[in-house]
Chain A
Amino acid sequence: MNSTASSLAEATASDAALRRFLHGLPGVDQVGAEQRAAALGTRSIKTTAKAFAIDLAIRMVDLTTLEGSDTPGKVRTLAAKAMRPDPTDATCPPTAAVCVYPDMVATAKKALKGSGVNVAAVATAFPSGRAALDIKLADTTDAVEAGADEIDMVIDRGAFLAGRYLDVYEEIVAVREASKKAHLKVIFETGELQTYDNVRRASWLAMMAGAHFIKTSTGKVQPAATLPVTLIMLEAVRDFRELTGQQVGVKPAGGIRHSKDAIKYLVMVNEIAGEDWLDPHWFRFGASTLLNDLLMQRSKLKTGAYSGPDYVTLD
Chain B
Amino acid sequence: MTMAKKSTAFEYAPAPESRSIVDIKPSYGLFIDGEFVDGRGKSFKTISPSTEEVLAEIAEGDAADVDLAVKAARRAYTRVWSKMSGAERGKYLFRIARIIQERAREFAVLESIDNGKPIKETRDVDVPTVAAHFFYYAGWADKLGYAGYGEDPQPLGVAGQVIPWNFPLLMLAWKIAPALACGNTVVLKPAETTPLTALLFAEVCQQADLPPGVVNILTGAGETGRAIVSHPDVNKVAFTGSTDVGRAIAKAVAGSDKRVTLELGGKAANIVYDDAPVDQAVEGIVNGIFFNQGHVCCAGSRLLVQESIAEEVLAKLKRRMKTLRVGDPLDKNTDIGAINSAEQLAKIRELSEIGEAEGAERWAPKCDLPSTGFWFPPTIFTGVSQAHRIAREEIFGPVLSVLTFRTPKEAVEKANNTPFGLSAGIWTEKGSLILWTASQLRAGVVWSNTFNRFDPASPFGGYKESGYGREGGRHGLEAYLR
Show the binding face of A for B, using Cβ within 8 Å: 1-2, 26-29, 31-33, 35-36, 42-50, 52-53, 56, 59, 116, 118, 149-150, 183, 235, 266-267, 270-271, 275-276, 278-281
Contacts and interface: CB of A to CB of B under 8 A. Distances in A.
Of residues A29, A266, A270, which shows the largest number of chain B Cβ atoms within 10 Å of its Cβ? A29
Given A26-B278, A28-B280, A53 B13 contact: no
Given A44-B333, A280-B4, A266 B10 contact: yes
B2 interface: yes
Interface string B436-480: 000000000000011000000000000000000000000000000
A149 B1 contact: yes
Contact of A118 (B1, B278, B279, B284): B1
B13 A32 contact: no
A44 B332 contact: yes
B1 A183 contact: yes
B10 A278 contact: yes
B358 interface: no
A35 B12 contact: no
28 contacts: A1-B278, A2-B312, A26-B275, A26-B279, A27-B276, A28-B280, A29-B429, A32-B283, A32-B449, A33-B279, A33-B280, A36-B279, A42-B124, A44-B332, A45-B15, A46-B15, A48-B11, A49-B10, A49-B12, A52-B8, A52-B11, A150-B1, A183-B1, A271-B323, A275-B9, A276-B6, A279-B4, A281-B4
B3 interface: yes
A266 B450 CA distance: 26
Contacts of A48: 11, 13
Given A45-B12, A271-B323, A28 B279 contact: yes
A206 to B, nearest CB: 18
Contact of B6 (A27, A44, A150, A279): A279
Contact of A46 (B9, B13, B312): B13
Contacts of B15: 44-46
Contacts of A27: 275-277, 429
Given A46-B13, A281-B1, A281-B4, A32 B450 contact: yes
A36 B2 CA distance: 33
B392 interface: no
Contact of B283 (A36, A47, A280): A36
Interface string B307-343: 0100010000000000100000000110000000000
B20 interface: no
B7 interface: yes
Contacts of B333: 43-44
A95 to B, nearest CB: 12
Contacts of A42: 120, 124, 332
Interface residue SS majority, chain B: loop
Contacts of A118: 1-2
A47 B13 contact: yes
Contacts of A270: 10
Interface string B1-31: 1111011111111110000000000000000
A275 B278 contact: no
Contact of B12 (A43, A279, A281): A43
Of residues B6, B10, B13, B429, which shows the largest number of chain A Cβ atoms within 10 Å of its Cβ? B10
Nearest to B332: A44
Contact of A50 (B1, B13, B308, B323): B13
Given A32-B283, A42-B124, A43-B333, A275 B10 contact: yes
Contact of A29 (B3, B7, B124, B449): B449
A89 to B, nearest CB: 20
B10 A116 contact: no
Nearest to B316: A239
A11 B322 CA distance: 32
Contacts of B1: 118, 149-150, 183, 281
Contacts of A47: 13
A33 B10 CA distance: 23
Contacts of A52: 8, 10-11
Contact of B277 (A28, A183, A276, A279): A28
A150 B284 CA distance: 39
A1 B277 CA distance: 11
A265 to B, nearest CB: 12
Contacts of B276: 26-27
A271 B319 CA distance: 10
B408 to A, nearest CB: 18
A118 B333 CA distance: 36
Contact of A235 (B124, B279, B429): B279
A157 to B, nearest CB: 24
B245 to A, nearest CB: 34
Nearest to B278: A26
Given A32-B277, A275-B7, 16 more contacts: A1-B278, A27-B429, A28-B277, A28-B280, A31-B449, A31-B450, A32-B284, A46-B13, A46-B14, A47-B13, A48-B11, A52-B8, A235-B279, A279-B4, A280-B2, A281-B4
